[in-house]
Amino acid sequence: MLSTLLYSVAAPLAAHPGLLNTARKTSFWNDLWQKFGTMFVGIAAFLAVVGLILFLADRAPKRSRDVWQLIAFVAPGLILLGIGLIYPALRTGYQAFTDGKDNFVGVDNFVWIFTSGEMLVSLLNTLIWVLCVPFFATAIGLTYAVFIDKSRGEKALKSLVFMPMAISFVGAGIIWSFMYAYRSKGFAQTGLLNQILVWIGLEPVQFLNTPPWNTFFLIVVLIWIQTGFAMVVLSASIKAIPTEQVEAARLDGASGWQVFRNVTIPGIRGSLVVVITTISIATLKVFDIVKTMTSGNNKTSVIALDMYDQAFRFGEVGHGAALALILFIMVLPVVIYNVRVMRKQREIR
């Protein structure tokens, strides 16, 4: 609904560039203005639609105004979610029990997953990923945040570790391909890690080729990306701990470790939950890194990648949907835990 409105406003304008721009269409700059014109029209249309909805809700008859206002605030988001996520989720849940062509096949797809050696490897790998990445990213991020807290050059040090967060998975894949690059003994190494091994007198190693270690080397890439996120959030959270608490602990003669354990950790528990949740979910969905670096070969595949391959490369929609359902079930504990935390918070309030 919203998008239709948006389209109906934006399309005619975009179709007549003259309205926006009368210059001759012969330059890079024109390309730029044209596209930015489309963008501004789009933004204006969006704001107009949202503004109109809120305005109308405000003018609703007094008796039903509360309902209309509630709808105005919640409906745009929920409608979009319904189209883009809820319906696809339900559809996937249904397809998991079909062969992808609307023939019901019961739990065949799941039988296939749990009897196929490759899928079991993927399941195991996904489990390793979701245990390692949140743990190490949070642990390193937290350690780092504590170590640099209030130190000189804290900002710069933060930026350095956060930087990978700003890099796309495609870019990260390229960067780490250059790190892990392997050339056999006797050749000049192009990958830094192997060069270091050679410098200290060892043989170069094929990092991405030897299971099970290759999975861990891929995991390093995601830890590298996510640590910055954990660090920045936890650092902010540490700074929000009332100074009185820290002082009190210090006055009681607590050691640095005791302060960390008894003041810092309880103080940032809420943030820790959110950080770990966010990273866990991101990890379960990871597929770009594996796809660009190993394509899932040599036993490095993960469920999200298999799901994509099954559904789109091999046309096995049923298999893909069943894998998606398993992924969903794997995230469930994280969600349930968060819901409990949220409930508790609400009670406190």
Partner 1 sequence: MSTTFKKRVWLTPLALVSVAGLLLTGCSNSSNDAGGGGSKTDCTDYEQYGTFEGDEVEVYATIVEVEADQLEESWADFEECTGITVNYVGDQGFETQINVRVEGGDAPDLAVFPQPGLLQRIVETGKVVPAPKSVEDNVDEGWSESWKTYGTVDGTFYASPLMASVKGWVWYSPSDFTDRGVEVPTTLAELNDLTKTLAAEKTDTYRPWCVGFGSDAATGWPGTDWIEDYVLRQSGPDVYDQWVAGDVKFNSPEIKKAFDSVGDIILNPDNVNGGFGDVSTINTTTFQEAGQPILDGNCSLHHQASFYEAQWPEGTTVAKDGDVWAFLLPSEEADAGKSVTGGGEFVAAFNDNKATAALQTYMSSALWANNRVSLGGVISANKGLDPDNAQSEIGKEAVRILQDPDTVFRFDASDLMPAAVGSASFWKGMVNWVNGESTDSVLTSIDKTWP
Partner 2 sequence: MSNPAIDVLPDPTEGPGRHGTGTHTEAILTGRGGGRGRRGGVGSSGGGKADRVKQRLTSPWATVAAIIIAFLWTVPTFGLFVASLRPAADKRDGWWTIFTQWQPTLDNYSTVLVGSSTANNNLASYFINSFVITIPGTLFPLLLALMAAYAFAWIPFRGRGTLFVLVFALQIVPLQMALIPLLQFFNGIGIGGTFPAVWIAHTIFGLPLGIFLLHNFVAQIPPELIEAARVDGASQTQIFFRIIIPLSLPAIASIAIFQFLWVWNDLLVALVFSGGTAEVAPLTAKLANMAGNFGRNEHLLPAGAFVSIIVPLIVFFALQRYFVRGLLAGSTKG
Please, which residue, 3 or 184, has the CB nearer to partner 1? 184
- DSSP secondary structure letter of residue 200: T
Identity at 271, one-letter amino acid code: S
Nearer to partner 2, 210 or 295 (CB): 295
The burial class, CB within 10 Å (0-12 / 13-18 / 19+), for 275 is buried
Burial of 318 (0-12, 13-18, 19+ CB in 10 A): buried
- Residue 252 touches which of partner 2, partner 1, none (Cβ within 5-8 Å per kind): partner 2
Q: Which of residues 94-123 bind partner 2 (CB under 8 A)?
A: none
Which of 40, 114, 187, 213 touches partner 1 (CB under 8 A)?
A: 187
Position among 2, 5, 6, 30 found at the interface with partner 1 (CB under 8 A): 30
Q: By CB under 8 A, name the one of 289, 311, 316, 322 that touches partner 2.
A: 311
- With contacts defined by CB under 8 A, name the span among 22-30, 60-68, 133-141, 324-332 that binds partner 1: 22-30
CA–CA gap between residue 341 and residue 274 (Å, rounded):
10
Query: Three-state DSSP class for 247?
Result: helix
15 binds, among partner 1, partner 2, none (CB under 5 to 8 A by kind): partner 1
The beta-carbon contacts of 109-113 under 8 Å, at least 24 apart in sequence, are 109/318, 109/319, 109/321, 109/322, 110/322, 110/326, 112/319, 112/322, 113/319, 113/322, 113/323, 113/326
User: According to CB under 8 A, which one of 298, 330, 331, 338 is a site residue for partner 1?
Assistant: 298
Cβ pair 116, 326 in contact under 8 A: no
- 91 is a site residue for partner 1 (CB under 8 A): no
Residues that bind partner 1 (CB under 8 A): 11, 14-17, 25-28, 30-31, 34-35, 38, 118, 182-187, 204, 206, 208-210, 291-292, 295-298, 308-309, 311-316
